[in-house]
Amino acid sequence: MYRIKGAYSLCIMSPKKLIAARDPHGFRPLALGKLSDDEGYVVASETCAFDSIGATFIRDIEPGEIVVIDENGVESIKTHCGGESSMCVFEFIYFARPDSVIEGASVHKARLRAGRYLAKEHPCEADVVIGCPDSGLDAALGFAQESGIPYGVGFIKNRYIGRTFIQPTQGMRENSVKIKLNVIRETVEGKRVVLVDDSIVRGTTSAKVVKLLRAAGAKEIHMRISAPPFISECYFGTDIDSKENLIANKHSVEKIAEMIGVDSLGFLSTDAVVKIAEGAKCGFCRGCFTGEYPVEVPKEFPKDKFETKFDE
C-alpha cells in the first residue's frame, strides 16, 4: 500500500486468513458483512452480494483500511487511513447495482436524484420519458417524477448479452446494440420522447439507439445523460478510452446532438454529479468529467495502460 498509488480493493485469502484492503482514497467500494448463522465474515465490493447469500452488512471498509479476519475475529489496521477520500462517482451512475448501498448512500436513490437534477437542468416538452437499460432506467424514473412527464418502458433488453460499453472493438459494440435492445413501438410511435442514458463515450452506441427509436416512429428524441460529458481518461480502473476517442472531448454538445441524431441533448452538470449520492460519507473523484484527478496521473498516457511495469 505504500508503493501502489491509485485505485484498488483487494481480497486475499489463505486457508486461515481473509484479508481485505481498500486503497487510501477509497476509489472503489468494499464492504464487510456477517453470515446470519454466525458462521463468519464476508467481504464484497457491493452490498447486494450480501443479500444473495443471506449475510448482513456490517460496515464499509474505510479508505486505507486493512481488515484481517481469522479464527480470532476481525482485526482492523488503519495505518493508511485518514486522508481525503475520492470515491468514483461513476459507481453511482453506472457501475454499481442499484440495490447496493455505498458509503451510506443508496445507488438506486442516487440515480433517481441524477434524473431529477437532469430534469431541472435540462427541461423539455415531451410525451414520454424512457430509459436506456439498465443504468439509465432509474435516472429516467427520476426525470419523469421531477418533470411530470409520464414514464414509459421503451426498450426490452436481451438478458443474455453483456454491457456494450466494455466490448473491445467497434464492430462488436455495434452488433451488440442490435442484439441487446428492442424498442417497444407502442411506447414511442408518434411521440416526443425523452431518452435517458448514463453516458456517451464515443457516441456510436447512442447513435444506434437513436436510430432504433426513429425506426419505431419516435417523432422527437430529446436525449438526457445522467452524467457530465467525458472529457478525459480514467486512470483508476474504468475503461473509458483515451481522450482522442471521447466525443465530448472534441465536440460541443450541439455538435454531438447533431452527430447522434437527436433533437436536443443535455448532460448532468459537474456540480450536480457530486450531489447525487446524498448522505454519502465520502468525497468524490470526477476526474474523467473535469480532467482534474485526486492523485497525480502519468503525464503521458501509457500505450498499454494495463501493462505499465510496476516500478516505472
Question: Residues interacting with ligand SF4, by CB under 6 A?
Answer: 27, 88-90, 234, 236, 238, 285-288
Alpha helical stretches, state H, 16-136: 48-52, 89-90, 107-121
Minimum distance of ligand SF4 from residue 165's CB (angstroms): 12
Nearer to ligand SF4, 62 or 233 (CB): 233
* Residues 6 or more apart in contact with residue 43 via CB below 8 angstroms: 11, 18, 20, 30, 31, 32, 33, 61, 67, 69
H or E segment to which residue 140 belongs:
helix 137-147
Nearer to ligand SF4, 130 or 288 (CB): 288
Minimum distance of ligand SF4 from residue 83's CB (angstroms): 16
CB 264 within 8 A of CB 222: yes
Q: Give me the residue label for grid cell 448512500.
A: 105
Pairing of strands 101-102, 66-70: unpaired
Minimum distance of ligand SF4 from residue 249's CB (angstroms): 13
Longest dimension (CA), the chain: 66
One DSSP character per residue, 169-182 reads SHHHHHHHHHHHEE
Nearer to ligand SF4, 91 or 146 (CB): 91
Nearer to ligand SF4, 241 or 263 (CB): 241
Minimum distance of ligand SF4 from residue 91's CB (angstroms): 7
Nearer to ligand SF4, 109 or 286 (CB): 286
